[in-house]
A and B are shown apart, each in its own frame.
Chain A
Amino acid sequence: MVRKIFRSPVMLIMPSILAIGFVIIIPLIFSFYTSFTSYKLTRPDSLFNFVGLRNYERLIDNAKFWYAFGRTILFLAVVLNLELLFGLGIALLINKITWGQRTLRTIMMFPMMFSPILVGFQWKYIFNDNIGLLNNFLYLFGYESAIPWLIDKYLAMGSIMVAEIWANTSIFAILLLAGLLGIPRDPIEAARVDGCNSWQVFKNITLPFLMPFVFIALTIRSLDVGRAYDIVHIMTGGGPAMRTELLWTMIARIGYKDANMGFANAMSYVSIILSIAFTYYFFTKLVAARRDLGQQ
């Protein structure tokens, strides 16, 4: 048995197992354990104060948490759909260009190059009610009221969505453009010879070929958006009155500012359900799309 363990294949993958163990598994086990304790960052001895399911029980009764949970789902749904729509549009347009496509592809990726913190500051300034670009632009056209973009019940969340979409639509565009460039020309040309119009070609040939790319992009971005923190933190900090509070701004505040890490970790583990659900859904769709194309 011991000899088996030390056989070369096991030894060869051992560094990877150890790396994954140290980097992923041990922190996961540790944080999961702390979710059953009253662990406070400022009181290291509280790490051993086991409270059973108390944090999870309190979570079930915590309306603010469930509002944030719901808001995060809404945020995910709107942002992912709009990014997909805009990304697809941009990819289709760039795919049509025969001259300067490389330059445009590079320009398209500019927003991705900014750190989310910079994006947050940039949009915070644009949406500032007093000295912001947007309101001052509106004043030029005779609008006489300062719109509280980052305060209003609906506009605040919308403003953050705009920033998130601006920063990340190009991820969709790049992935979908890669898909478009890989589509074989024969079925498209055959469809045109058979008299299909552009919409029919797009709907029946281009889109089915693109669907695996769409679902890969959706999976990657759903994990990203589900963890949205930086942009929200900079633009509104989850406020005012928790109107833009998402799961991770709430968890970060409870974990780091209140130093209540045990409770924050319980929140994190419940929140992970959301990421797992989205990932599972998109992967199921990805497999179905590949099956439709006759791929494994």
Chain B
Amino acid sequence: MKLFKSILTVISVFSLSFSAFAVDKSFPNDKVAMWGDFSGITLDVKLIGGAPYDPLYEVMIPIWEEKTGGKVSILSKKSHFELDKEIKQDIAAGNISYCVVSNHTSFATQYGDIYRDLNGIVPGDFLAEFVPLVLEHSTVDGRLVQLPQHSDVSNLWYIKSIYEDADNKKRFKAEYGYDLAPPETLEQWKEQAIFWSDPPNFYGTQYVGKEEAITGRFYELVIAEGGALFDDEWRPTFNDEAGQRALQWFVDLYNAQAVPAGVLNYLWDETGLGFASGTVALNLDWGGWGAYFNSADSKIGGDVGLVRFPMGSGGKRGGWSGSHTYSILNGCPEENLEAAASLIWILTNHEAQMHEARGGKLPTMTRVWDDIAGEMNAEGNAFMSDLFSTFKASMAEDAFTPPLIPEWIPFSNIIFPELQAAIVGDKTVKEALDAAAKETDYLMQDAGYY
């Protein structure tokens, strides 16, 4: 019941955060407008669904239908992992004649050449509004196959009051010899997580523990530790010392019971809801949860702090990043192309991105970063203002994508069970990484990299 209630809370909070801000249907701040008369056109689309995504569709699609006379038929709406499977089946079945589909920079490389190049379909002055690096990440084999809606990168959220408590400060200094403050390094993060833990009532930290989620987390820790997943010839190198240090960090936290026992079954909802329940001190997460974490619906509302991703021993911060995007399929009939471009315009334009940013999502347009910061400052919303300045710095200085190769997801499916095996103690860190490296070597050989 508690979980169900929490899920309902998240849905309502995400919905409220959008409905609270009415959209000006004239879109006065958009320099480029892509309206048209699309009467009689019905666009078949497949979209990523769920509480963080649906509110935008609920606001924007009716406006688009009203203003253009076109209709949107949503053939499918599901989580990105499920959508990914569906797209692969669609490719196999040759069923790729729908027009618009949700995409992601980490996934797009897998699907071959099923997408249209948006250069030439979307006006250049609209594309010029996007952060150039994000557009670069949306490009596959020189073709702009997707238009970014919002980006994700993670930073460290923490419960402020426990860090301000004088008794905690005194106890921590006595135990670790330095002043208690939100962690600046991975080592401090681990020490503080162990310090805060009082299982099963309270945990120092947590991490997403399965599938691509833990692969991504491991990846950014490898980078922070000064390592790399692959060398220049795409041979696996993540089983070197930097990789071992990165995995050992997960293992140490698990063994110290500084993370919940079931963490290896956690994905984003579990970690987000867990932090909002007030039972976790430090939580690495994206900005999209920000408004909810600090709201009255969260048990830590008004008591949430945020710092940059702590640094690893390699002198770098984690910054695994990607963008949720929209693509137009090659199979979309020519006569629907303009309407399809118009639809992805309304889902990614200035108005849409401002709308999403008010809930904490990270914009992909340069101008929106400034406009949302200005709006939050004008409202005196220090929390959201801090959120955007922190994430803006991360996006500018720390963010990096996973290797943009079709083998990213198959690679992830090889490595994540081995990471888990080390964490639960079935294998040593070295054994697990060596086993994953051996299988990855086969994968890359089969794919023709060497």
Contacts and interface: CB of A to CB of B under 8 A. Distances in A.
Interface string A275-289: 000000000000000
A237 B85 contact: no
B260 A256 contact: no
Contacts of B274: 130
A224 interface: no
B92 A130 contact: no
Most buried by A among B261, B262, B277: B262
A129 B91 contact: no
A263 to B, nearest CB: 10
B13 to A, nearest CB: 18
16 contacts: A41-B92, A42-B112, A42-B406, A44-B92, A130-B261, A131-B2, A131-B3, A145-B199, A148-B261, A148-B262, A237-B210, A239-B210, A239-B417, A240-B209, A242-B417, A258-B410
A220 to B, nearest CB: 28
Given A240-B424, A257-B84, 4 more contacts: A42-B88, A145-B200, A241-B423, A259-B88
Contacts of B417: 239-242, 245
A130 B273 CA distance: 11
Interface string B412-423: 010011101101
Interface string A32-46: 000000000111100
Most buried by A among B81, B200, B260: B200
Interface string B315-333: 0000000000000000000
B409 A258 contact: yes
A144 interface: yes
B200 A139 contact: yes
Interface string A253-269: 11011111100000000
B interface secondary structure, majority: helix
Contacts of A130: 200, 260-262, 274, 279
Interface string B84-127: 11001101101000000000000000111000000000000000
A144 B426 CA distance: 25
A151 B264 contact: yes
A257 B409 contact: yes
Contacts, number: 106
A151 B424 contact: yes
B424 A241 contact: yes
B89 A239 contact: no
Contact of A147 (B2, B85, B261, B426): B261
A124 B261 CA distance: 14
Contacts of B209: 240
Contacts of B426: 153, 241, 243
A149 B410 CA distance: 28
Contacts of A205: none
Interface in A224-245: 236-237, 239-243, 245
A242 B417 CA distance: 6
Most buried by A among B211, B264, B409: B264
Interface string B61-93: 000000000000000000001001100110110
A125 interface: yes
B420 A146 contact: no
A219 interface: no
B254 to A, nearest CB: 10
A150 interface: yes
A150 B262 contact: yes
Contact of A241 (B111, B406, B420): B420
